[in-house]
Amino acid sequence: MLAGHDTTANALTTILYLLAAHKDAQKKVRDEILRVLGDDLTPSAEQQKELKYMNMVMNENLRLYPPVAQLPRRFSAQEIKFRNHVIPAKTAIILNIYGIHHSSRNWKDPENFIPERFENEKHDYYAWLGFGGGSRICLGINFSLIEQRIMLCALLRKYEIFLPADSIHKDKLQIEPEVSGTSGPYPVPLIFKRRTE
């Protein structure tokens, strides 16, 4: 079982990196927060639904950098016939979420940050597994998404976020794989500059 705050913390780290690296997306999310929330500090349930671009950015972040890169090994209880393939009984099966999220079969330009790809939600259900899928989907999905939205609203309304000039992540986020199936970036130093507007 993979659960807890480390996966949400990793998701927040990678989304802050993406927003620092893509200033246009950061501005668009901030403008949406200010428009939707007004003077409210914390988004209501209704306001969270209105944060459409933020939600697209969050989905794209989880596609590019899934906190759980692969699901734990399971064994097939019996022989499985799938299309033209046969999986013998007692075969170890590991679901490579990172591979699914970066497959050109599922996504156009899979290595690029394109939040708008989630605008119409026209992708195969199992092409995006930010929280798993089906009957075993992560129980903490809503808690994690709410926590991420609240943090992003609090940070982006007050700060502009930058990558340091000497960042090891300036060209691409450097990921540290974990044996457990979770993954996260190497430390990501960021610069938070208080907004004056």
Per-residue pLDDT reduced to its tens digit, 61-84: 999 999 888 887 789 899 999 889
* Cα Rg, the chain, nearest whole Å: 18
What average pLDDT is seen over the chain? 89
- β-bridge mates for residue 192, sequence order: 161
What pLDDT does 1 receive?
Answer: 41
* Residue 196 burial (10 A CB sphere; 0-12, 13-18, 19+): exposed
> What's this model's pTM, rounded to 2 decimal places?
0.88
The sign of the CA dihedral 147, 148, 149, 150 is positive
- Using 50, 70 and 90 to split pLDDT, how confident is the model at 2? very low
Structural domain spans, the chain: 5-194
CATH superfamily, domain 5-194, is Cytochrome P450 (1.10.630.10)
Q: What is the pLDDT of residue 187?
A: 83
Reported as a single tens digit per residue, the pLDDT across 4-37 is 567 888 899 999 999 999 999 999 999 999 999 9
